[in-house]
Structure 1
């Protein structure tokens, strides 16, 4: 398990390992465009659902972008960790479909 911790905190400029973001895009470029498009559609669907959940029961003049930018500003470290984890998750989804 310490390997995973090391991988999440690795140097993003390490040319041998790379960051979760760079690995996601490497995998995306190598995978079938149909698989990547389908996975991207799932990501957008998930994003749409999250926006709807956040804006539910809010005032009509509610600015979701302002709320999100404020949250990112106040929680930058947590957001960065979650972002890395999501890149790993989404890359894993593509990899799992490569054999199908």
Structure 2
């Protein structure tokens, strides 16, 4: 059960947990992403270029945050799935 990466476990849960719970979690993630994009657009003229710069210059930090997001989302789904 605990084998694999946070990403692979996240997708295991997404594909096997209650569909409504997964939809709610994915909708929350998308809403958060959209809100952060709106905030970023207020402070950054060329948002896409800045995103690419961050992907290159802060790839390790970005990867760590992705893992954290996968883990947090799994926890959100699993605690509601009980």
TM-score over 0.5 for the pair: yes
Output the TM-score relative to the length of structure 2: 0.90
* Cα distance in 1 for residues equivalent to 2:68 and 2:14: 16
Aligned CA RMSD, in angstroms, stands at 1.3
Using structure 1 for the length normalisation, give the TM-score.
Answer: 0.75
Structure 2 residue 9 is the aligned partner of structure 1 residue 23: yes
Aligned equivalent of 1:41, options 15, 23, 27: 27
Higher relative contact order (CA 8 A, sep 6+): 2
| Residue 51 in structure 1 maps to residue 34 in structure 2 | no
- The size of the alignment, in residue pairs, is 81
SS across alignment from 1:56: helix
Taking the TM superposition and a 5 Å limit, the aligned residue runs for 1:1-100 are 17-58=3-44, 62-99=45-82
5+ residue gaps, structure 1: 1-15
Taking the aligned partners of 1:19 and 1:57, their CA distance within structure 2 comes to 34
Number of the residue aligned with 1:8: none
More helix by share: 2
* Residue 63 (structure 1) shift: 2.7
